[in-house]
Structure 1
Amino acid sequence: MGERDRHRELVGPAPQGEARRLTRELRAAIEEVRSAVLVLAARVRAAHQARVWAALGYSGWAAYAGAEFGVSRSTAYRLLDLAAAAEAIEDVVARQVGPELSHAWDTGLVLPVRAVVDLKGRIAELADLIAERLADAQAEAGGAPLEPGRVGEVVAGAVAELRERPDVPVAELAVAGGPDGYDAEAWRRHVTAGRPLVAEQQQNDRALGEIALRLAPAHLSDRSALPVLAVYADFVGEDPELFLACRRYLITGDWRAVEDDYRGRQARDLLARHGEEQ
């Protein structure tokens, strides 16, 4: 009798002994999957670093993976992303809590396909966040060693936290820097908090542009559209120039029609008036 047939015969509730046996088998299967993903990640990275496709006569990694394993181009590159993420997590966990716990996280829960896609290009940021959260967990434990389950929770939580954050690349912050008096982490928090607000502003400008286009269709010039928009703006208590700018945004698809032409001009006018008052 095969493994599948043996389990198909069991109709619950099972006796306690049988339930414990099935639980042990399930635990072992989960561990095998976890180990298999980590082995896969390590072997993908080793094969890519060795440029195996060149030795076998393929034009590149995607062509090699498609011919040898029957996977699509996107899957071939997603394997590389998985390998990079898994390696980074293993390394940071090993450094922070010890190599014996480097595998103490559930790859199936922590790195599903969607997570791998979301984390692409953010591996360094992920490693920093995991290290920070593990340090917090160690402090909460009063210096006592972390249990494997706790390590897994921390890693999963860090991955979920990063996936919810807007993407603020480390390189971007390093180049832009922050004002004097702000450390890097504080500046990152402020930028992260501000990004969703800017995205919301862009959505609002788009909604205003849609209203403006219904009132003054795209075939009208700005000169012809402005009187109609001025009447509407007076009713809703807004500057007609804003509606005109949002209308240009919808027509061109370029948000700079609002941010640079309208708000930028307002800011420059404000600074000019402030300079005159000095």
Structure 2
Amino acid sequence: MLSATGSWAAYAEAEFGISRAQAYRLIEVSRAAGIVGDAVIAADPVSCMRDTDTAAALDFGLSQRVLLAVSGCAEQVADLIARRLAPLLAVSALAIGELMLEVAPAYLSDHQAADRLALLCDEIGETLDHGLAVRRYALTGD
């Protein structure tokens, strides 16, 4: 812990073995990665199959140098990522909707489909409401 008489530089050196400047760079990298990660999570909170480790999913494979380079425009990078993810998420929703249609064909009402989809949704970690929504999306494209 940083004492009242200690400095940030002393703390960074003692605790982490890094310089004051490197500590500030790591804070900035963390902030940029957090903004980009939040944008990805906002676009698609978690895999519909719940089969991905969130921390691993958010490892963009970017170096500190790259994260520092984008840290000044992290919001713009996050917006770009969100725009590029949108079409991919639509394809994902359609694929899951088609899976829901295999289990609960189009001729079934939402109420009848809900009975059939409850177990599937539970198994893949999806809410029943979302399962029904992507089923409707697969049917109508809306």
TM-score, normalised with respect to structure 2: 0.51
Cα distance per residue 1:29-59 (max 9 Å; x no partner):
xxxxxxxxxxxxxxxxxxxxxxx53x56433
- State yes or no: 1:114 paired with 2:62: no
Instruction: Compute the displacement of 1:134 (Å).
Output: 0.9
Against the structure 1 CA distance between its residues 73 and 137, is the aligned structure 2 distance closer, same or farther, given a 3 Å change threshold? same
Question: Cα–Cα, structure 1 residues 99 and 88, in superposed 2: closer, same or farther, change >3 Å?
Answer: farther
Quote the Cα distance in structure 1 between the aligned partners of 2:16 and 2:72.
25
Q: Where does the alignment leave 5 or more consecutive residues of structure 2 unmatched?
A: 97-142
**Do the aligned partners of 1:92 and 1:131 also contact (CA within 8 Å) in 2?**
yes
Residues 78 and 116, structure 1, Cα contact 8 Å, conserved in 2: no
1:98 partner SS: coil
What is the distance in 1 between the residues matched to 2:66 and 2:95? 28
Match for residue 207 of structure 1?
none
Q: Where in structure 1 are there 5+ consecutive unaligned residues?
A: 1-51, 147-278
Contact 2:32–2:68 under 8 Å retained in 1: no
Contact 1:66/1:76 (<8 A) preserved: no
Helix, strand or coil at the partner of 2:93:
coil
Q: Cα 1:85–1:120, aligned 2, differ >3 Å: closer, same or farther? A: closer
Determine the C-alpha separation between the residues in 1 that align with 2:46 and 2:89. Answer: 16
Give percent identity, aligned residues only: 37
Q: How many residues align?
A: 90
In 1, Cα distance between equivalents of 2:17 and 2:85? 39
Task: Give the corresponding residue for 1:129.
Answer: 80
SS, match of residue 143 in structure 1? helix
Partner residue in 1 for 2:93: 143
DSSP-derived class of the 1:83 partner: helix
Larger Rg belongs to: 1
Which amino acid in 2 is paired with 1:115?
A: V
Q: Distance in 2 between matches of 1:86 and 1:145?
A: 29
1:74 aligns with 2:21: yes
Is the contact between residue 32 and residue 67 of structure 2 (CA under 8 Å) also seen in structure 1?
Answer: yes
Superposition deviation, residue 145 in structure 1 = 6.7
- TM-score when scaled to structure 1? 0.28
Aligned structure 1 segments of 4 or more residues deviating by more than 6 angstroms: none
Alignment-derived partner of residue 58 in structure 1: 6
Alpha-carbon deviation of 1:96?
0.8
Report Cα offsets for 1:52-72 as digits up to 9, x if no partner: 53x564333x44212321102
The SS at the match of 2:7 is coil
Aligned-CA RMSD value: 2.7
Flag the 1:145–1:130 CA change in 2: closer, same or farther, 3 A.
Answer: farther
Q: Counterpart of 1:210?
A: none
Go from structure 1 to structure 2 and tell me whether the alpha carbon gap of 1:90 and 1:138 turns closer, same or farther (over 3 Å shift): same
- As a proportion of its length, which structure holds more helix? 1
**Rounded Cα–Cα distance in structure 2 between residues aligned with 1:58 and 1:137:** 50
1: distance between equivalents of 2:93 and 2:25? 38
Shift of 1:114: 1.7
Deviations 1:202-251 (A, max 9, x none): xxxxxxxxxxxxxxxxxxxxxxxxxxxxxxxxxxxxxxxxxxxxxxxxxx
